Amino acid sequence: MENFKFHCPTKIIFGRDTEENVGDEIKILGGKKVLLHYYSDEIIKDIGLYSKVIESLLKNKIKYIEFSGAVPNPRLNLVKKGITICRAENIDFILAIGGGSVIDSAKMIAAGVFYKGDPWDFCMMKASPKKALNLGVILTIAASGSESSRYSVITNEEDWFKKGFTSDLIRPKFAILNPEITFSVPPYHKFSGIIDIISHITERYFTRDDDYTGLLDLYCEATLRNIIEQSKIILNNPNDYNANAEIMWASTIAQNDLLGVDIKPDWEVHVMEENILSSFYDISHGAGIAIILPAWMRYVYKNRKILNKFVRFTKEVWKIKGLENTNVEEIALLGIEAFENFIRQLNLPLHISEAKISLTKEKLNISIDRCISDGHLGSIVQLMKSDILKIVEIAM
């Protein structure tokens, strides 16, 4: 295990009706005027969440300004509007009500308020946040793990470049996680989110040294097994509280750095998906991952730096037995096939053609060039342009 620092100060408030205390949490942090950022008030009003939040804010004498309009693959222009509102209204706290897109947008707004330049500079590594507004979250879908992470990913509409930045300053101060809120999430989005969670784990699991089989890999394997088990329960009973609770908690620990404290993930799959699919074609990020992740696995699994980890993936995650006389490459492939079958069970696309996306050569070339802006993609298994093209062919 390598040297590491672990710091995750987000306060997790988990369970039924916890959203009713949001005003108390904001008051503790000194918030007096809040920007409420969300997708659409119709969504949060329909499930009764809006009225609970407003009641809690008013009880604590906290003023608020509403700022809706967030969309999947959050937009830079909306972020800039949010920054303008925060400055004009003297906002001192941001409350994000939603999933990863709302939270990521809120994070850049929080950091951008104190930056005089274009907030896109954070993504292009031309600047780093020096200060940020306090931020809290009420999570409505388990997926991105943004509720306690230091990551934010934004899409620039000018050239449809989707890129992220990292800062401990943008970690939410608290995250309210009530599994019952996720009951109303449509199956496509819920299961897309689950694949995103899985990718957050596998992109740490397959990045770690192939010879390492210690506690951190055991954490990853156990979390993956639990996600698979709970997903199957949700397929039959979408409102099973315990299953949704397990998925919600898995979302958080998958992305708060706990499972990857001693490594720097390559994020190969995320980078490919974000640049090739969701930036240009606006597919749900998790559904795009469902296409790219298995294709990446099929392309890299024979690599000697990573093959043994794929064998563990088959044996320890999918618990496939009777492999005594099977060679290691065949064992690895069985795990990949099991994962693909799982994606099918969740009724998600496994190929680009199934997602009804027609890739254009022009956009594909732009996308791949963005993926390899540093000369190649990844470190454990380095991908060049020709490699990414082959992965796309597998994904077609």
User: Does 35 reside within a domain?
Assistant: yes
Other CB atoms within 10 Å distance of the CB of residue 245: 20
pLDDT of the residue at 208: 78
pLDDT of the residue at 291: 98
Same domain, yes or no: 159 and 192: no
Strands of 134-139's sheet, edge to edge? 11-14, 174-177, 134-139, 93-98, 33-38, 63-67
Q: CA 93 to CA 374: how far, in whole Å? A: 36
Residue 2: is its pLDDT beyond 90? no
Same domain, yes or no: 154 and 210: no
Position 194, amino acid: I
User: pLDDT-based confidence at 262, cuts 50/70/90?
Assistant: confident
Q: Supply the CATH number for residue 328's domain.
A: 1.20.1090.10
User: Does 387 reside within a domain?
Assistant: yes
Residue 209: is its pLDDT beyond 80? no
Domain boundary among 119, 154, 180: 180
pLDDT of the residue at 56: 98
Which residues have a Cβ under 8 Å from the Cβ of 135 and sit 6 or more positions away? 93, 94, 95, 96, 106, 107, 110, 170, 171, 172, 173
Domain boundary among 132, 162, 180: 180
**Bridge-based pairing state of the strands 174-177 and 11-14:** parallel
Other CB atoms within 10 Å distance of the CB of residue 20: 15
pLDDT of the residue at 196: 97
User: Does 152 reside within a domain?
Assistant: yes
Mean pLDDT (the chain, rounded): 94
Which residues have a Cβ under 8 Å from the Cβ of 42 and sit 6 or more positions away? none
Q: Domain containing 208: what range?
A: 187-395
Residue 207: is its pLDDT beyond 90? no
User: Does 299 reside within a domain?
Assistant: yes
Full-model pTM: 0.95
Supply angle C-alpha 98, 102, 106, rounded to 5: 125
Same domain, yes or no: 85 and 209: no
pLDDT of the residue at 7: 86
Task: Write the DSSP assignment of 323-373 as a string of letters.
Answer: -TTS-HHHHHHHHHHHHHHHHHHTT--SSGGGGT----HHHHHHHHHHHTT
Residue 272: is its pLDDT beyond 90? yes
User: pLDDT-based confidence at 239, cuts 50/70/90?
Assistant: very high
Same domain, yes or no: 160 and 22: yes
* Bridge partners of residue 139, in order along the sequence: 98
Q: CA 127 to CA 228: how far, in whole Å? A: 40
Q: Supply the CATH number for residue 42's domain.
A: 3.40.50.1970
Residue 309: is its pLDDT beyond 90? yes
User: Does 357 reside within a domain?
Assistant: yes
Same domain, yes or no: 138 and 201: no
User: Does 4 reside within a domain?
Assistant: no
How many domains in the chain?
2
Residue 266: is its pLDDT beyond 90? no
Which residues have a Cβ under 8 Å from the Cβ of 138 and sit 6 or more positions away? 19, 22, 49, 53, 95, 96, 97, 98, 175, 176, 178, 181
Same domain, yes or no: 85 and 126: yes
- Which of 275-284, 337-346, 347-356 is predicted with the least confidence, judged by mean pLDDT? 275-284
Structure-token pair, residue 200: 């957050």
Same domain, yes or no: 65 and 165: yes
Domain boundary among 133, 159, 180: 180
pLDDT digits (tens, 9 = 90+) for 374-392: 788 988 889 999 999 999 9
Same domain, yes or no: 294 and 363: yes
User: Does 81 reside within a domain?
Assistant: yes
pLDDT of the residue at 374: 76
Count Cα neighbours of 180 within 13 Å in the Cβ-side half-sphere: 9
> Measuring CA to CA, which residue among 299, 379, 281 is closest to residue 336?
299
pLDDT digits (tens, 9 = 90+) for 113-169: 999 999 999 999 999 999 999 999 999 999 999 999 999 999 999 988 999 999 999
User: Does 1 reside within a domain?
Assistant: no
Same domain, yes or no: 175 and 197: no
What one-character DSSP code corresponds to residue 182?
Answer: G
Residue 1: is its pLDDT beyond 80? no
> In terms of residues, how long is the chain?
396
Q: What is the mean pLDDT of residues 248-259?
A: 95
pLDDT of the residue at 65: 98
Same domain, yes or no: 132 and 206: no
Same domain, yes or no: 191 and 172: no
Same domain, yes or no: 162 and 191: no
pLDDT digits (tens, 9 = 90+) for 215-237: 999 999 999 999 999 999 999 99
